[in-house]
Structure 1
Amino acid sequence: MTRTSQPTRLPSDVYESAVAAARVASRTVPQQIAHWARIGRELEMSPQVNHRAIARVLSGADSYDSLGEQEQAIVREEWTERVTALREELNYEAAFAAAGEPYSEADEDGNVVVRRARG
């Protein structure tokens, strides 16, 4: 049976991790990603993983400490993805400019640079 693949966009960190893992495992990048997808599918279908409990923790209705080790690992990964997505949306320069406030930041060499308020 011939299978066709659909183009899929991946976050750059996932792709870069797949490149590194593929080298170690002697796989192509698509093979590595498919391997991880199969593991994820099996994990989600596993009777040892309580998906309802994970959903309760992710929604804030239950405590992280109530989960087992596997569930905690899944929640940590989800939290990491959510935090990364939120950080990518941040634009402090625009927020300070809109407020008319100066701000400081470190340059590439670690030196403090004060940015003046525009306007």
Structure 2
Amino acid sequence: MAGTMPTRVDGELFEAARAAGATASRSAAQQLAHWARLGRELEASPTASLVDIRRVLEGRGSYDDLGEHEQAVVRNTWDEEIQKRRAALNLARRFQEQGRTWSEVDDDGQVVTRGENTH
């Protein structure tokens, strides 16, 4: 088994790997290695079609028409996009800006109401 080698990674890519890895119980380094293996498999696959993958990602093709390698790439891309959107989403701030109240579960599992209009 080969050892690890140090390398430099773009900060944005590292943060994306950290976020995606957290949902799969992987470190950022493990997630980057996972993505690299996925890319290697895609490039090595004689049946994988980047054109078909791009069509699905652009909403112009059917996911079900893809082979398993292409589906894996599409799912990975969707997962990355979802992680980026979740990281940018701050509903508490949005609700506060709108002067709305909201309910959430606290650390003890109790439902609590938050916001300006809380009584």
TM-score w.r.t. length of structure 2: 0.71
The Cα of 1:70 is off from its aligned counterpart by 1.2
Separation in 1 of the partners of 2:8 and 2:48?
A: 29
Percentage identity across paired residues of the two chains: 42
After superposition, the Cα gap between the structure-2 partners of 1:87 and 1:102, relative to the gap in structure 1 and judged at 3 Å, is: same
Counterpart for residue 51 of structure 1: 50
Separation in 2 of the partners of 1:63 and 1:7?
A: 33
Provide structure 1 residue ranges, at least 5 long, that are not aligned to the other structure. 20-28
Q: Which amino acid aligns with 2:91?
A: Y
- What number of residue pairs does the alignment pair up? 106
Q: Is the 8 A contact 1:44 1:51 kept in 2?
A: no
The Cα of 1:38 is off from its aligned counterpart by 5.6
Taking the TM superposition and a 5 Å limit, the aligned residue runs for 1:85-104 are 85-104=84-103
Higher relative CO (CA 8 A, sep ≥ 6), structure 1 or 2? 2
Query: Which of the residues 8, 20, 26 maps onto 1:6?
Result: 8
Q: Secondary structure at the match of 1:95?
A: helix
Q: Secondary structure at the match of 1:17?
A: coil
4+ residue stretches of structure 1 with deviation over 6 A?
none
After superposition, the Cα gap between the structure-2 partners of 1:85 and 1:106, relative to the gap in structure 1 and judged at 3 Å, is: same
Task: Quote the RMSD (CA, aligned, Å).
Answer: 3.0
TM-score w.r.t. length of structure 1: 0.71
